[in-house]
Amino acid sequence: MTHSPFLGPYKPDSIVAWHQGKTISTQKLLTHVRTIRDQLPHKPYVINLCQDRYSFLVGFAAALCRNQTTLLPPNRSPDILQQLLSQYSDCYYLTDGHERIEGVEGLTLDLDINSDQAPMANPQFSNTHIAAIAFTSGTTGTPRPSQKSWGSMVQIAKKTAERLPISAKSPVTVVATVPHQHMYGLETSIMLPLQKGWCVYSERPFFPEDIVSVLHAQCSPRILVSTPIHLRSCVMTESKFPEVACTLSATAPLPQQLAKQVETLFRTTMIEIYGFAEAGTIATRRPVQEDSWTLLPELTLVSHTEGYAVSTPYFSNPVPIPDTIQSANPQQFSLEGRPSHLINIGGHRGSLDELNVQLLSIEGVVDGTFYMPEEKEESVTRLIAFVVAPEKTSEAIFAALRHKISRVFLPRPLYLVKALPRNPTGKLMQEDIETLLRTQHDLATTRDRRLVDDG
Amino acid sequence: MEEWSLSNQAPFETEIAQLLVTTLNLKVEPAKIPPLDPLFGEGLGLDSIDALEIALVIHQNYGYKLRSDDPDNTTIFSSLRSLCEAIQKNRTK
């Protein structure tokens, strides 16, 4: 099979999306796609900035119809976009609002179309066509590309769907709290419903109360695509949520206790997804029942120079797995954590070594280190930094870091210290850093008390 | 008589500033957060993870559940002062 269809099941009158409170039929979607397809500039690459999930979907499909590749920047910061444009100069952008990219040709999506043209047939796209290039920001914010062929995206969606406890014949709506411009969101909130004939919910609820009202407005069965951070927020509110047939979580490990609470709160089956930028989703598990991960059908683990890689029918070479894993058989594995210098904050992966290089490159910084405190289940743990910089203020160093590293890795807090407790060989031992942290914390507490006492 | 702090914070703004600094582990003196500066982006440099944490702690302390489809939402997070005004308007405890 050299091509795969845009829509898995093709039924002209079935509902494929909820957009601005209205249903969108397959016919309407394909009319939108055809109209936008004919308006697109003749360029190989497009940055799809559309905030609305349905608008993004129309732009994505229209670009596929023209054999174009959608670029997925890790964020919208001008620096990141400029870096992308320097590598993919023959590029335009799509927008559904006020977002613009300076100096680049752009097209504003207008979906207010009254077309009387006959419905377009379900388009077929080449499995080898690079449908998207996802970029991860990494530690320093320099985007690293991962190419996604249309065939791989279709296969991942279909294989993931096999793991979900959805047998309903009635229409399933997929509601997502995650953005569609990242691979996890694109795979689960757009590709999954398209390939299964489910319904894409266009808006992105963010706060727990938003999730309550969106879920209530949708008929059962519903799928909720989310993250541990959002799910924890939901569990900690006292709101009542409607029943959700299946809840998906990815981007960071989901503690088993939280998974149990989510299953109770939403009367749901909580399925956790494991994936990474280079390969996309590769495995799933139900945390309340199992610790180990099961690879998607037809995927197998193979040995690799630094651990394991995953072999798939849709990537020509095995893809190395970035986490340390233990495997009992070629289809199952357990996560043994990341190598100690690698971190994951709210789904953003980074390296302490690379962060330290950036810290030490700041003028006036004599010595310094980032430190990841023991991670707590009840909140997102942020990095701490200890810096030796006699001539600088902590505010100045913080400001310099803001230009050098992704915002999510900015230290909370940054401590200015006289020296780091390096041992005779120059190494920093974990217990010495923890002692330093306790000392700094005590100093800060004493100072705060004094401020209060001095009133 | 209640005094206004160095950065012209009202007393309730100082209370919320303290809550933000403690909750988010910020290395700033609460009293020095300018009440009209943006909380996200360049100002305090907060991100969307912080937005959820703030929403949670405001709900726990004041009983106000933030929503993003609130017509006032873009204003609510625009500064310490607007956040405080929203809390005072909607608080249940």
**Among candidates A207, A209, A394 on the partner chain, residue whose Cβ is nearest the Cβ of B27:** A394
Amino acid sitting at position A355: L
**Cα Rg of chain A (Å, integer):** 24
Q: How far is A394 from chain B (nearest CA, A)?
A: 9
Q: How many CB atoms lie within 10 A of CB A408?
A: 21
In this prediction, residue B70 carries a pLDDT of 56
| Sequential pLDDT tens for chain A (455 residues) | 799 999 999 988 899 999 998 999 999 999 999 999 999 999 999 999 999 999 999 999 999 999 999 999 887 777 778 888 999 999 999 999 878 898 899 999 988 876 666 678 999 999 999 999 998 766 665 678 999 999 999 999 999 999 999 986 778 999 999 999 989 999 999 999 999 999 999 999 989 999 999 999 988 899 999 998 899 889 988 789 999 999 999 987 888 999 999 999 999 999 999 998 889 999 999 999 999 999 999 999 999 887 899 999 999 899 999 888 899 888 999 988 666 677 888 777 788 888 888 888 888 998 889 998 887 766 778 899 999 998 898 888 988 888 888 888 888 888 999 888 888 777 788 888 888 888 887 777 666 555 545 44
**What domain range includes position A169?**
3-290
Pair A360, A273 in one domain: no
**Among candidates B27, B59, B68 on the partner chain, residue whose Cβ is nearest the Cβ of A206:** B68
A447, closest residue in chain B (CA to CA):
B29
A25, A13 contact by CB (below 8 A): yes
Across chain B, what does the average pLDDT equal? 81
DSSP letter for B40, please. Answer: B
A360 occurs within a structural domain: yes
A·B CB contacts under 8 A? 58
Cα–Cα distance list, A45 to A48, A90, A93, A109 (Å): 10, 6, 8, 16
In this prediction, residue B3 carries a pLDDT of 46
Tokens for A382?
Answer: 């942020």
B2, closest residue in chain A (CA to CA):
A455
A301 occurs within a structural domain: no
Pair A347, A286 in one domain: no
**Among candidates B26, B55, B66 on the partner chain, residue whose Cβ is nearest the Cβ of A413:** B26
- Picking from B39, B44, B58, B67 by the largest number of A CB atoms within 10 A of its own CB, the best residue to mutate is B67
In this prediction, residue B2 carries a pLDDT of 43
Q: Which residues of B touch A239 (CB under 8 A)?
A: 65
A200, A18 contact by CB (below 8 A): yes
Whether residue A380 lies within 8 A of chain B, CB to CB, comes out as yes
Element (H, E) at A233: helix A228-236
Q: Which residues of A touch B21 (CB under 8 A)?
A: none
A313 occurs within a structural domain: no
In this prediction, residue A455 carries a pLDDT of 40
Cα–Cα distance list, A274 to A279, A380, B51, B63 (Å): 10, 19, 25, 35
Q: Which residues of B touch A208 (CB under 8 A)?
A: 55, 65
In this prediction, residue A30 carries a pLDDT of 94
Cβ–Cβ below 8 Å for A207 and B66? yes
Pair A262, A123 in one domain: yes
CA distance A370 to A140: 14
Pair A8, A91 in one domain: yes
| Chain CA centroid to CA A404, Å | 21
Tokens for A316?
Answer: 């020509």
What pLDDT band is residue B7 in, cutting at 50, 70 and 90? Answer: low
Domain CATH number, residue A413: 3.30.300.30
A107, A58 contact by CB (below 8 A): no
**Among candidates B24, B29, B56 on the partner chain, residue whose Cβ is nearest the Cβ of A233:** B56
Q: Which residues of B touch A411 (CB under 8 A)?
A: 27
**Count of the separate structural domains present in chain A:** 2
**Among candidates B25, B29, B51 on the partner chain, residue whose Cβ is nearest the Cβ of A412:** B25
Q: Which residues of A touch B59 (CB under 8 A)?
A: 237
* Phi and psi angles of residue A155, each rounded to the nearest 5 degrees, phi first: -60, -45
The domain segmentation of chain B, as residue ranges, is: 11-90
A314 occurs within a structural domain: no
Maximum CA extent, chain B: 39
A347, closest residue in chain B (CA to CA):
B49
Task: State the pTM of this model.
Answer: 0.85
Cβ–Cβ below 8 Å for B68 and A233? no
Q: Which residues of B touch A210 (CB under 8 A)?
A: 67-69
A346, closest residue in chain B (CA to CA):
B49
Whether residue A236 lies within 8 A of chain B, CB to CB, comes out as yes
Burial of residue A88, with CB atoms counted within 10 A of its CB: 0-12 exposed, 13-18 middle, 19 or more buried: middle
Q: How far is A413 from chain B (nearest CA, A)?
A: 5
Which residue in the block uniquely carries the two structure tokens 């217990």?
A431
Helical residues (DSSP H) of A176-222, grouped into ranges: 183-186, 192-196, 208-217
Residues of B with CB under 8 A from a CB of A: 24-27, 29, 45, 47-49, 51-53, 55-56, 59-60, 65-69
Q: Which residues of B touch A451 (CB under 8 A)?
A: 29
| Helix pair angle (A352-360, A394-404), 10° resolution | 120
**Among candidates A213, A230, A394 on the partner chain, residue whose Cβ is nearest the Cβ of B52:** A230
A393, closest residue in chain B (CA to CA):
B27
Pair A72, A184 in one domain: yes
Whether residue A207 lies within 8 A of chain B, CB to CB, comes out as yes
Q: Which fold has domain B11-90?
A: 1.10.1200
Q: How many CB atoms lie within 10 A of CB A243?
A: 11
Boundary-marking domain end, from A226, A256, A290? A290
In 3-state terms, chain A is what percent helix, strand and coil (to 5)?
Answer: 30, 25, 45
A411, A401 contact by CB (below 8 A): yes
Whether residue A410 lies within 8 A of chain B, CB to CB, comes out as yes
CA distance A332 to A422: 41
Tokens for A375?
Answer: 């991670």
Cβ–Cβ below 8 Å for A213 and B67? yes
Q: Which residues of A touch B52 (CB under 8 A)?
A: 206-207, 229-230, 233
A341 half-sphere exposure, CB direction, 13 A CA radius = 10
Q: How far apart are the first and last CA of chain A?
A: 75
What pLDDT band is residue B1 in, cutting at 50, 70 and 90? Answer: very low
Q: How far is B16 from chain A (nearest CA, A)?
A: 16
Domain CATH number, residue A224: 3.40.50.12780
Element (H, E) at B37: none
**Among candidates A205, A233, A413 on the partner chain, residue whose Cβ is nearest the Cβ of B55:** A233
Q: What is the pLDDT of residues B21-56, one digit of tens each?
A: 888 878 778 888 889 888 876 667 677 788 888 898
A348, A365 contact by CB (below 8 A): no
In this prediction, residue A423 carries a pLDDT of 80
Q: What is the pLDDT of residues B57-76, one digit of tens each?
A: 999 999 998 887 655 556 77
CA distance A286 to A48: 33
Q: How far is A46 from chain B (nearest CA, A)?
A: 26
A162 occurs within a structural domain: yes
